[in-house]
A and B are shown apart, each in its own frame.
Chain A
Amino acid sequence: MSVEINVTGEVVTAYLSGEIDHHNAKEMRESIDNAIELNMPTLLVLDFKNVSFMDSSGIGLVMGRYRNLAKSGAELHITGAEAGIGKMLKLAGIEKLAKLEGR
């Protein structure tokens, strides 16, 4: 599985792994959205520690989840992004939507 979900109280953490591209994003998106729907978190944490590659499909994934969460006023945090992933997130201006934390 390319996403592992952990639920602690009102916090859902999604541990992403492998390569995030258009081919893989759909499945990742669905498991994260399932977890959001099921648990109604106030905070979603997307953990990129084990992500080795990401293109703009990954940015689409982050932005889409942000929009989903915004409906219920929940927050989005991003953790563990290494340099290459960080470069993509920065180019997309993700820091305006989500709190970024180093690894």
Chain B
Amino acid sequence: MQVNNKFTMTVLSRSANESFARACVSAFAAQLDPTLDEISDIKTAVSEAVTNCIVHAYKNKIGNIYITAELLEPNIIRIKIRDRGCGIENIEKAMEPLFTTAGGERAGLGFAVMQSFMDAVSVKSAPQKGTTVTMSKKISRRFKLNA
């Protein structure tokens, strides 16, 4: 697939970067002229993946979160969010709705949200090495009055 544009950023796993990261990716996605609903879906999915790096991957420590977003033909955004944290033992289990290893205040719905708000989500992970979440979404082409 042809890559028309791309940006990469690295942030520390500080919770203040949750809103920063989703704002950056959604500002980049604006180049595809998404609807407000599409922007909101992308923001939410990014927030889920970045929060997982902070809460799970780098639990009790601070590490780098690597974020890449690409704009592909035809009008698709592909987002990669990678950490070098603790990794996931059983990815299938982790992706089940309501499954959480955090207990208490977490719902276990992050992956379910990513899957329902994006068109495709894939997860690669190795224990003690880290996790990469790749998600993509096709943005509807809207009729432009002033094209």
Contact = CB atoms under 8 A, between A and B. Distances in A.
Interface stretch (A8-16, A19-27, A37-45, A70-78): A19-27
A83 B107 CA distance: 20
Q: Main SS of the interface on chain A?
A: helix
B95 interface: no
Interface string A37-75: 000000000000000011111011101100000000000
Interface residues of A, number: 21
Nearest to A94: B107
B109 A21 contact: no
Contact of B18 (A21, A54, A60, A83): A21
Nearest to A90: B116
Given A19-B19, A23-B15, A88-B44, A61 B51 contact: no
A59 B109 contact: yes
Contacts of A63: 107
Given A22-B51, A23-B18, A55-B44, A64 B104 contact: yes
B107 A92 contact: yes
A60 B19 contact: no
A91 interface: yes
B55 interface: yes
A11 B73 CA distance: 53
A88 B55 CA distance: 20
Interface hub of A23, A55, A63 (most chain B Cβ within 10 A): A55
Contact of A56 (B15, B43, B48): B48
Contacts of A54: 44
Interface of B: 15-16, 18-19, 37, 40, 43-44, 47-48, 51, 54-55, 104-107, 109-110, 112-113, 116
Interface of A: 19, 21-23, 25, 29, 53-57, 59-61, 63-64, 83-84, 88, 91-92
